[in-house]
Amino acid sequence: MSTPDPNSSLTPAARQLNWPLFRQHMLDNVRDGVVFVDPHGKIKVWNRELESITGMTAGKVLEQEFSPAILQLSDTEGSPLSKSECPLTECLQTGVQSNGEYRISGRSGREVKVEITFIPALCAKGLIHGAVLLVHDYTIQLDLQRQLKDLYEFSTLDPLTQVANRSEFERVLEEYVRAHQSTNFVCSLIVCDIDFFKQINDNYNHHIGDQALVAFASLLKKFVRSKDVVARYGGEEFVILCANCDGAAAVQRAEEIRTTLTQTPQPMLDGKCITASFGVSQLTSADSPTDLFVRADTALLNAKEEGRNRVACETGIEDPQAIRAGKGEALSDAGLVWKKSQGTLLLSEEFKTTTPVPLVVSKLRGYIVERNAELLRIEADWVSMQIECVDPNNSGRRGSFIADIEFQVRTVNKIEQTRRNIGKETFIRITLREAKRKWFSTNATDLAPQMLRDIRDFLMISDSDSRLKVEPATSSDVVR
């Protein structure tokens, strides 16, 4: 086969120029690495830019057969390419151009990320006379993108907790207010902070306090969606912008966060839990960003004044706790709604156990039979019965009680599912009331704890199960 004339496609005027000189000048100044290979894959051209990228001079590679080993060519995962996997082989065989991202060994052995285009050199008759490789080093671009990303994060994120900082929150809040004014975009704001945070710093140290802030921020991020924004407003105070969320839904979400927090032991605090208070407001058409924040912050102050570890909302948003109280229900410290018992209350405790409800119910049947209890009322998740209790140390001391036992099952949040390998928890509330007023009623308060222990034993509630209270928690397991 005769070698084609490289000047055959040039105009007469171009033929009068020193074409090899022009070509060499172009190759030496182009910003991509360039390789020419003949039909057999032998390297005929290796330009200066490729020398700069790889650290290999043209003299070392010219007339060698091109192979992936010369560049230590590998895919984006770092797996070396064999000769049969090399796109140049396919390019020379099929005459089809291809393009891809690869890694090569650069100067001083550093890894370089490149984009390589394999271009077949075809004559007018479609014969393959070799190929051109264009090697583009985009490592600098990636470094620039990484630097821009770092700069953006530095300007928008809180360096400790890695949630949005105050300036970013204020910027997004202004956008949400404008969106509401133009499209009636629904938005609510939750303002919250850790209860008695100063005591954590005083009792443990500021480094532990920082860890508690990080843990709190991480929990908040688990309860938000893609368009929501979690930000650290300052100190131990955080905010959540809830997009497409009305005030009632935001209150419910705040309650879920509050409940989860009270049930999440913190390793940095020796396994104790922390609590937080929450204030909620909903965006209106007349609001400025400041108006929305002030109302939520005022609700937060109300939550603190009412005892902390609770959710408060602005006027106009239905407060779940107030609604439940109006229906004669009781809200537990775990966030569960229980029926409100009537009569003289002697003792009421709530327990959390992993024992399944069917097993608990089976044990309760045995208790009713063995203690000869009188069933007063029974529902799917609630039993009321009257029981006579005798002091084992003094048969003359008796008490007649009504025991209300209620069950609830709740799916464990994802954090606890992973940590404890359980899917559901059983909550049991036992309430003891006086059944009659007789001369021995003064002993009832002494006998009630004994009866509670008796019921617990039958229902397989062990001392290792969590004991919760219907009133706000005061356990030493919660940092105060």
Can you tell me the distance from the alpha carbon of 289 to that of 410, in angstroms, rounded to the nearest whole number?
Answer: 37
- Give the single-character DSSP code of 164: B
Paired residues of 429 in beta bridges:
350, 406
Q: How many CA atoms lie within 13 A of 426 on its CB side?
A: 19
Helix (H) or strand (E) holding 167: helix 166-183
Cα–Cα dist 296/285, whole Å? 16
Angle (deg, nearest 10), helices 247-262 and 206-221? 130
> 388: Cβ–Cβ under 8 A, 6 or more apart, which residues?
372, 398, 399, 400
Residue 199 and residue 479 in contact, taking contact as beta carbons nearer than 8 Å: yes
Which of 49, 51, 168, 236 is labelled catalytic? Answer: 236
Which sign, positive or negative, has the C-alpha torsion 409, 411, 415, 417?
Answer: positive
List the structure tokens of 188: 């609510």
Task: Round to whole Å and give the CA distance between 331 and 337.
Answer: 5
Q: Please check whether residue 401 is in contact with residue 390, taking contact to mean a CB–CB distance below 8 angstroms.
A: no
Whether residue 333 contacts residue 473, with contact meaning beta carbons closer than 8 Å, is answered with yes
236 catalytic? Reply is yes
* Amino acid in position 279: G
Residue numbers annotated as active site: 236
